[in-house]
């Protein structure tokens, strides 16, 4: 059974979806850079150990990331999951967890990297929007794509209504991607692409929900 550590900064909605999915993994700890993050209480309700490494206690990103990595490594994780962790990670940290650091981003990458993805999608008039699970690399929001979920952008959508529908798909997509990792069905190729090594029915990098919004 794979050991997972989850990093959060906020309310922990993706964390809760992961925990409620009852994956065949051991979530060893949930770590936040904010002591008041709501996700810490989510973890406690599920009986998961919590820890805080407050970035404000450190002089610079490198010092914080070093302390964070030391805390993470104490749990011996096979996978580190970013679930709303609002920190830009240093190259040393990313390299240390290369191939075992996952993130979910609220857009169909490579479109709309960075922040305010839903508002930008509405403003640009795109017809499809969604979310992407990817391995983290040193280029922000550019890591190898594991899976995507798409939703239609409706004529009367606002950033808030679109965000709510995308979030519902995040809660389905992220547990699936972690399940694939835990089952050994994901492999990073030498050229930095994701390959599914399980049965053919897992070779589904694009999930387009059909249900009505």
Residue numbers annotated as active site: 105
CA dihedral 105, 107, 108, 109 (to 10 degrees): -60
| CA dist., res. 82 & res. 174, Å (int) | 10
- What single DSSP character describes residue 200? G
Strand, coil or helix: 190: coil
- H or E element at residue 129: strand 128-135
| CA dist., res. 91 & res. 30, Å (int) | 22
């Amino acid at each position: 059974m794979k050991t997972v550590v989850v990093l959060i900064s906020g309310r922990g909605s993706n964390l809760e979806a992961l925990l409620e999915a009852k994956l065949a993994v051991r979530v060893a700890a949930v770590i936040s850079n904010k002591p008041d993050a709501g996700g810490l209480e989510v973890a406690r309700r599920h009986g998961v150990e919590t820890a805080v490494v407050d970035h404000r206690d450190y002089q610079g990103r490198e010092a914080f990331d070093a302390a964070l990595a030391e805390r993470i490594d104490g749990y011996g994780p096979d996978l580190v999951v970013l679930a709303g962790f609002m920190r830009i990670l240093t190259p040393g940290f990313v390299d240390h967890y290369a191939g075992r650091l996952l993130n979910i981003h609220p857009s169909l990458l490579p479109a709309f990297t960075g922040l305010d993805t839903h508002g930008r999608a509405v403003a640009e008039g795109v017809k499809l929007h969604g979310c992407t699970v990817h391995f983290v690399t040193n280029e922000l929001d550019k890591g190898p794509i594991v899976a995507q979920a798409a939703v239609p952008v409706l004529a009367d959508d606002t950033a808030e209504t679109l965000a709510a529908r995308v979030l519902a798909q995040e809660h389905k997509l992220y547990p699936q991607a972690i399940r694939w990792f835990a089952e050994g069905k994901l492999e990073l190729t030498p050229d930095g692409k994701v390959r599914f090594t399980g049965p053919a029915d897992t070779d589904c990098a694009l999930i387009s929900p059909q249900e009505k919004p």
